[in-house]
Every structure is written in structure tokens, then in C-alpha cells.
Amino acid sequence: MGTAFITGAGIRVGIAVARALGHAGYDLALHANRSVDSVEALAEEFRALGRRVTVHAADLSRPEAVDELGARVREAHPALDVVVHNAGLYEAVPFGAISRARYQTMLGVNLDAPFFLTQALLPCLRAGTSPLVVNLTDIGGERPVSGYAHYSVSKAGLIMLTRALAVELAPHVRVNAISPGTVAFPENFSAAEREATLQRIPMGREGSVEDIARVVLFLAREAPYITGQVLAVDGGRSAQL
């Protein structure tokens, strides 16, 4: 089936994507920063099924760590069929309080890391069969919300990176993005906040991390003519904003 590399594979969407691809027959290269124990457990789960799995720890806010990660993955997996840039940073900070360091960290994780990891792994992708890159973006990259300026800028850049690389790397490498909606409520959300959010979703419910994973699998196995697209998986929320 081939090999898939997933960043941020130790939490939420990353775990679901890794599981979907692993159960579909892919060998796995799994990245984590603070969730290495979770990724190690996931690796053992799929090694028991006969998959080849490597684990790679790296802080994607550090450029040198991104370069080292790219080199390690390139050495371990000379051919890659799926690359999923799932790792991301999210925080609310008033515009006037966003320091240069905070801004650079946000862009480093959400935009620079996908840019330079894709660049580093390009020889592996070109060696793959119908290779695919998937970027996890957000509606904030197209419709900003007050308090998230640096986050919105990073995701807007990731959307443009998706489109630019879809053009530049065609026809062999496909590049798409997935824009998830509410796939799991934050733990600190009150009942009132949850209800208010659900009122803005035409489907009337939150989604699941598996909803995102199924779209990654669809793009990888069933959609060889889709590239340069941002697929909203949000229960219709973006359609009415």
C-alpha cells in the first residue's frame, strides 16, 4: 500500500488519521512533540499488525528541529505516498499583545514546518506512487475571528501553500487541504457555549476526528484527480457564515 507520514500523530485528529491509514495497509512514520508516549503506543498497535512504523520526536517551532526531522524521515522512508501536516498551534491573543516571538512561533509550527518538511521530503514523494500531501487548515484562514490574528495569518498562508504546491508539484504530487469544523468541543466549553456552537452548524451536531480521517483516506485512495482544493468538513457551518 505504501507509507504515510503524519505530524502531530499523538492527539485527536492525528491519532484518527494514523489509525485510518494504518488499518488501510500503510506503513507509518509518526511525529509527535509532547505526545511521544501516545505515538509509541500507536506504533506498537500497528507493529503487532505487521506494519513498519517509525516514531520521530521534534519541536516544530524550531527550524533546526524541522530540518532534522525531515532528514530522519527521508533516511527511514525513501518513498512516501501520503504526507499529512496535522500538527498545529492554536491560541487566542489580542492583536496588541502578540509579541514577535509569539507570532514567529505560530507561523513556525503552522506554516513554516509544512513548507520546509514538504520540501525536505520531496524526493520521497517523487519516489511514491500517486503521492499526496494533505494540510490541515481552518476556516480562520479564510474568515478571521477577533483575537486570533496570528493564527488566521498562519492558516491563510497554509491555504495558499496548498494551492501553490498543487500547481508546482503537479502532475505527480497532489496537494490538498482539509478544513475541519467542530470535531470535538474543548473541555472547558460550557453547556451554553456548546449549544450556541451547534446552532451555527446546519447538521446540528459536532463532527468526529474519524470524519477527518475518512477524508484523508478518500483523497489518498479514491481521488487521483483532486488537487489544489480545500475541503471543508464542518457540517455545513462555512456555508452560512
CATH number at residue 100: 3.40.50.720
Length of the chain: 241
Number of domains in the chain: 1
**pLDDT value for 186:** 67
Q: CA–CA separation, 45 vs 22, rounded Å?
A: 10
Residue 151 makes CB contacts below 8 A (sequence gap 6+) with 89, 90, 91, 92, 106, 110, 138, 140
pTM of the model: 0.95
Which one of 26, 103, 148, 151 is the catalytic residue?
151
**Helices H / strands E in the chain, number of each:** 9, 7
90-120 per-position pLDDT tens digit? 999 999 999 999 999 999 999 999 999 999 9
**pLDDT value for 241:** 62
Q: Which domain holds residue 182?
A: 3-239
Is residue 221 within 8 A of residue 4, CB to CB? The reply is no
By CB atoms closer than 10 A (0-12, 13-18, 19+), residue 156 is middle
Phi (first) and psi of residue 5, to 5 degrees? -115, 125
Q: Which DSSP symbol is given to 225?
A: T
149-165 per-position pLDDT tens digit? 999 999 999 999 999 99
**pLDDT value for 145:** 84
**pLDDT value for 181:** 87
**pLDDT value for 192:** 85
Q: Annotated catalytic, 148?
A: no
